[in-house]
Amino acid sequence: MRIIIMGPPGVGKGTEAELLIKHYNIPHISTGNIFRELFETELEIGKIAKSYINRGELVPDDITNEIVRERLNEKDVEKGFLFDGFPRNIDQAKAFDAILKEKNWKLDAVINIEGNEELIIKRLSGRRVCEKCGAIYHITNKKPKVEGICNVCGGKLIQRADDLEDTVRRRLRIYKDQTAPVIGYYLASGTIINVDGTRSIDDTHNDIMKVLGE
Ligand SMILES: [Zn+2]
């Protein structure tokens, strides 16, 4: 099974990805984890990629594509893969197609988990985290016994900068701007599967399995 998974921040994409890689026993490949693996080697391309990341810049597409190509030469992807967070623009999607074509491989599906923006904003901006033990709460869905205090360790509950409403709105907008063309690209090739991500993790997973013919 060769899958790409897409979805806005806060839609539960990570959890759905975990369920899929377990079901199919395939590697979970994100550019983040390929970069991390690469940095442990002495390869030149890893040093180049790292220099961009250290400067806080995006790694250019041609370097990212080359790294993906290398990753697809490894043995574990012969049984399939789940790509997550790649491709993030049309140029990367085209390069990915070219790499797959060289290998005579076809994508089985591009799973696009759709969320409701207002629900995502409520879910993320209501999140509170214990600054001591990391336990996660929610101001309406998972309230602590005492407001602002962790049930487990008595630590103070804080809101992470990433979860601030304005930040969440910005992240959602960036995601939309970046991925809309990629979704359009895969729509044209008929590989995209839209899944409703506003329901429970299990319901969304069952929908995905159904459309994958399981
Ligand atoms: Zn705690």
Give pLDDT tens digits for 191-212.
999 999 998 899 999 999 999 9
pLDDT at 2: 96
Q: What's the token pair of residue 48? A: 């180049």
**Active site annotation includes 127:** yes
Q: Averaged over 2-25, what is the pLDDT? A: 94
Give pLDDT tens digits for 18-34.
999 999 999 999 888 88
Distance 144 CA to ligand 1 centre (A): 10
Spatial distance between the Cα atoms of 112 and 107, rounded to a whole number of angstroms: 14
**Active site annotation includes 2:** no
Distance 118 CA to ligand 1 centre (A): 28
Residue 153 parent element (H or E): none
Q: What's the token pair of residue 199? A: 């329901």
Distance 149 CA to ligand 1 centre (A): 8
> Domain for residue 173, yes or no?
no
Q: Which residue out of 50, 94, 169, 171 is catalytically annotated? A: 171
**Active site annotation includes 88:** yes
Q: Output 144-149 pairs: Cβ under 8 A, ≥24 positions apart.
A: none
Name the region of 64 (left: φ>0; alpha: ψ -120 to 50; beta: rest): alpha
Q: Which residue out of 2, 13, 71, 122 is catalytically annotated? A: 13
pLDDT of residue 213 exceeding 90, the answer is no
Number of domains in the chain: 1
pLDDT of residue 35 exceeding 90, the answer is no
Q: Indicate which CATH number applies to the domain containing 108.
A: 3.40.50.300
> Domain for residue 153, yes or no?
no
Pair 24, 48: CB distance under 8 Å: no
Distance 137 CA to ligand 1 centre (A): 10
Total-model pTM: 0.85
Q: Is the dihedral of CA 141, 142, 146, 149 positive or negative?
A: negative
> Domain for residue 128, yes or no?
no
> Domain for residue 200, yes or no?
yes
> Domain for residue 136, yes or no?
no
Measured N-to-C along each axis, helices 61-71 and 31-39 cross at an angle, to the nearest 10 degrees, of 80
Spatial distance between the Cα atoms of 169 and 75, rounded to a whole number of angstroms: 40
> Domain for residue 113, yes or no?
yes
pLDDT of residue 189 exceeding 90, the answer is no
> Domain for residue 60, yes or no?
yes
Domain assignment of residue 202, given as a range? 2-117+179-211
> Domain for residue 131, yes or no?
no
Q: What's the token pair of residue 127? A: 């999140």
- DSSP letters along 167-213, please? HHHHHHHHHHHHHHHHHHHHHHHT-EEEEE-SS-HHHHHHHHHHHTT
